[in-house]
Structure 1
Amino acid sequence: MIFWSIVFVIGASQALWLALALWRRPVNRPGNRVLAAWIALIGFDLVIKALYFSAPGPEYYKLYRFVGLFPFLYGSFFYVYVRALTGAGALVWRDGVHTAGFLFALLVKAPLFLQSHAQIEARFASGARDTPMLWFDVFLFGYSLSYVIAALVRVARYRRGLLAQRSDADRLSLGWIDTMAASQIVIWCIATVDWLAPTRWIDYPLIYGAVVLWMFTVGYLSLGQAELPAPAVAPPAPAAGALNGEDDARFPQVEARLLALMQREQLYREPALTIGQLARRSGYPEYLVSAVINRRFAGNFWEYINRQRIEAVRACLADSSDTRTILDIAYACGFTSKSTFNAAFKRSFGETPSAYRQRQAASGGG
């Protein structure tokens, strides 16, 4: 177990450094402070496990069993982190409800924690083992994973809101949240295998070895995250006709105005264009601009702007006199991500940008 103790000490050191860095980081402060507290808790968990695995005995047994209940907090911490991140709000007293699972587990295990040191020593001397509690493990797995799923649902809703509001939504897509969630699910899968079919190579220390690896992943991703915008303020309510699914009489004028803004002023070239900015430039209410984009142009705001950008890139690639690199052209047309640009271009034209340019050059352009 000495090997795992060393691994856990390394992970705990990483947790301390990462928690301090996240706590001080000004970007996405509410979410990062929740994440800092969560990672500090994991660091404490790893320290206790390092001590216990280095010399298993009664001295650290209660602490070891106490931190063994922390997984009841990890799933809920993940959810609260996502809520603070996407809602731009700090913790409030009502968030205490998310500790209910941990408090319940603490109550269930209270008889163990109330034992005297002499009783714990006698337990070790007799070689007695803990009695498995199947229902308790099932509850832990279901409780924690439900929080992970709830967090991912919240992320999906936030992404939909970004796609309807911002043309650079891909840059703010919270991809690191997906990685964090997937890593947690992998850890839970290891725990499930250890629980249902224990083997020589899949055991309890390996679970927390995976936690240490997760710690390094979180450190790399969370410190490089982009600043997320505050939740968009809901636009004014539409007219009664729009609420009934009917097109507003102003739809043709709004559509024509949007086409003019895209063709003559090329607003799509602004990397961080928002639907609010477009609405102000058009002179029409935001809800009306959004309705026209959704119904007349068949897509959300992000898709609509990217179609304008893709067409502009296509025209440049077809122009043999334009000697800029493909990526320079893409950025000049408003794209902020190489991967988003490549995927959007191939989806629209069925080939990569470089293949399209080569084919146009071979055919003499046009």
Structure 2
Amino acid sequence: MIFWSIVFVIGASQATWLALALWRRPVNRPGNRVLAAWIALIGFDLAIKALYFSEPAASLYKLYRFVGLFPFLYGSLFYLYVRSLTQARAPGWRDSLHLLGFAVALATKASLFLASDSQIAALFAARRNESPTLWLDIFLFGYSLSYVAAALLRVMRYRRGLLARRSDADRVSLHWVDTMAISQIVIWCIATARWITPVAWLDYPMIYGAVVMWMFTVGYLSLGQVELPAEPEPEPGTGTESRVADTDDARFPAVEARLAQLMQQEQAYREPALTIAQLARRSGYPEYLVSAVINRRFDGNFWEYINRHRTEAVRACLADTNDGRSILDIAYACGFTAKSTFNAAFKRQLGATPSQYRQQQAEQRARSAGSGE
């Protein structure tokens, strides 16, 4: 167990550093402070396990069993992290409801934590003969994974909102949260496999070894996150405006013409962080009306609408023999903020990658020049 103790000490050290860094980080402060508290709990959990596995003792047994209940907090803390991240607000006292699973698990082990030193010594001596609490494991897996699923649903909803409001949604789409969730699910699958089919090498320390690896992943991803826009609060009168926008408003043609002017003459799409609110202000029309026109007349959300104009601008540059810039330089100049988003949008619209399209244009010009001689 010495090997795992060393691994857990490394993980606890990483957790301490990471929790402090996240707590002090000004970007996405409410979410990062929830994540910092969560990481600190994991670090404490790993530190206790490192002590216990290096030299098991009755004096550590009660504390060891206590931190063994921490996984009942991890799923709910992940959900609170995602919610705080997307809403840009810290949890309130009502969120203590999300600690209910941990409270229930703690209550089931109350007799252990209230036991005398002599009773703990007897339990420690007989620990290898303890019967597993399978029903508690089932509750833990279901409870925690339901929170992970709820967090992912919130991420999906947040992404849909971003695509409807921002042209740089690819930069702030919470991809690191996907990785965090998938990593957690993998850890729960390892734990479930150990529970269903005992395998010699798939033991309890290995599960927490996976947690240590998850810790390093979280550190790499969370410290590189960009600032996220909060989910907007519903504005007064939204219901009425939405009902108007659901029909063919008489202003639709005027809004459509104004948008065409902004895209073709003023080339508003070249602004990398353009939002629908900014576009609406420049158009002189309400945001809900601009959104309705884009959705109904241009067959897509705001993000798709802007990227279609950006792709067309890139296409024109690639077809221009006098434009010697690299493909990425052209893409960024036309408003794209990520290579992957640009490549996907270009291929979806034109059926070829940017490099293939530029090569096709060069070959077409060569054929035309040859036939003209």
Matched letter for residue 338 of structure 2: S
State the shift of 1:241 in Å. Answer: 8.5
Taking the aligned partners of 2:279 and 2:174, their CA distance within structure 1 comes to 24
Partner residue, 1:317: 318
Deviations along 1:287-308, one digit per CA (max 9) or x if unpaired, are 0000000000011100100000
Taking the aligned partners of 1:126 and 1:277, their CA distance within structure 2 comes to 68
Taking the aligned partners of 1:280 and 1:321, their CA distance within structure 2 comes to 36
Taking the aligned partners of 1:85 and 1:256, their CA distance within structure 2 comes to 37
Taking the aligned partners of 1:244 and 1:354, their CA distance within structure 2 comes to 40
Taking the aligned partners of 2:344 and 2:338, their CA distance within structure 1 comes to 10
Partner residue, 1:344: 345
Partner residue, 1:29: 29
Q: Residues 61 and 124 of structure 2 are in contact (CA less than 8 Å); yes or no, is this contact kept in structure 1?
A: no
Q: Residues 30 and 85 of structure 2 are in contact (CA less than 8 Å); yes or no, is this contact kept in structure 1?
A: yes
CA 1:74–1:243 in structure 2 vs 1: closer, same or farther (change >3 Å)?
A: same
Partner residue, 1:306: 307
**Total equivalences in the alignment:** 366
State the shift of 1:57 in Å. Answer: 2.5
Q: Residues 241 and 288 of structure 2 are in contact (CA less than 8 Å); yes or no, is this contact kept in structure 1?
A: no
Tell which deviates more after alignment, 324-333 or 86-95. 86-95
What SS is found at the alignment partner of 2:129?
coil
Partner residue, 1:61: 61
Partner residue, 2:16: 16
State the shift of 1:188 in Å. Answer: 0.1
Partner residue, 2:231: 231
> Is 1:270 the counterpart of 2:277 in the alignment?
no
Partner residue, 1:334: 335
Partner residue, 2:210: 210
Deviations along 1:7-38, one digit per CA (max 9) or x if unpaired, are 00000000000000000100000101110000
Residues 68-107 of structure 1: pairs in structure 2 closer than 5 A: 68-107=68-107
Partner residue, 1:41: 41
Taking the aligned partners of 1:338 and 1:348, their CA distance within structure 2 comes to 15
> Is 1:134 the counterpart of 2:144 in the alignment?
no
What SS is found at the alignment partner of 1:89?
coil
State the shift of 1:340 in Å. Answer: 0.5
Taking the aligned partners of 1:127 and 1:70, their CA distance within structure 2 comes to 20
Q: Residues 19 and 36 of structure 1 are in contact (CA less than 8 Å); yes or no, is this contact kept in structure 2?
A: yes
Tell which deviates more after alignment, 51-60 or 15-24. 51-60
Matched letter for residue 227 of structure 1: E
State the shift of 1:68 in Å. Answer: 0.5
State the shift of 1:114 in Å. Answer: 1.7
Q: Residues 241 and 248 of structure 1 are in contact (CA less than 8 Å); yes or no, is this contact kept in structure 2?
A: no
State the shift of 1:246 in Å. Answer: 1.5
Matched letter for residue 252 of structure 2: F
CA 1:203–1:126 in structure 2 vs 1: closer, same or farther (change >3 Å)?
A: closer
Taking structure 2 as the reference length, the TM-score comes to 0.95
Unaligned runs of 5+ in 2: 369-373
Tell which deviates more after alignment, 230-239 or 22-31. 230-239
Taking the aligned partners of 1:26 and 1:285, their CA distance within structure 2 comes to 33
Q: Residues 242 and 248 of structure 1 are in contact (CA less than 8 Å); yes or no, is this contact kept in structure 2?
A: no
Taking the aligned partners of 2:127 and 2:166, their CA distance within structure 1 comes to 62
Matched letter for residue 174 of structure 2: L
Deviations along 1:316-340, one digit per CA (max 9) or x if unpaired, are 0011110000000000000000011
Partner residue, 1:255: 256
What SS is found at the alignment partner of 1:60?
helix
CA 1:301–1:21 in structure 2 vs 1: closer, same or farther (change >3 Å)?
A: same
Unaligned runs of 5+ in 1: none
Deviations along 1:241-264, one digit per CA (max 9) or x if unpaired, are 845832111111111110111000
CA 1:244–1:293 in structure 2 vs 1: closer, same or farther (change >3 Å)?
A: closer
State the shift of 1:124 in Å. Answer: 3.5
What SS is found at the alignment partner of 2:335?
coil
State the shift of 1:127 in Å. Answer: 5.7
What SS is found at the alignment partner of 1:319?
coil
State the shift of 1:131 in Å. Answer: 1.6
State the shift of 1:232 in Å. Answer: 2.4
Matched letter for residue 358 of structure 2: R
Matched letter for residue 104 of structure 1: V
- Identity over aligned pairs, percent: 74
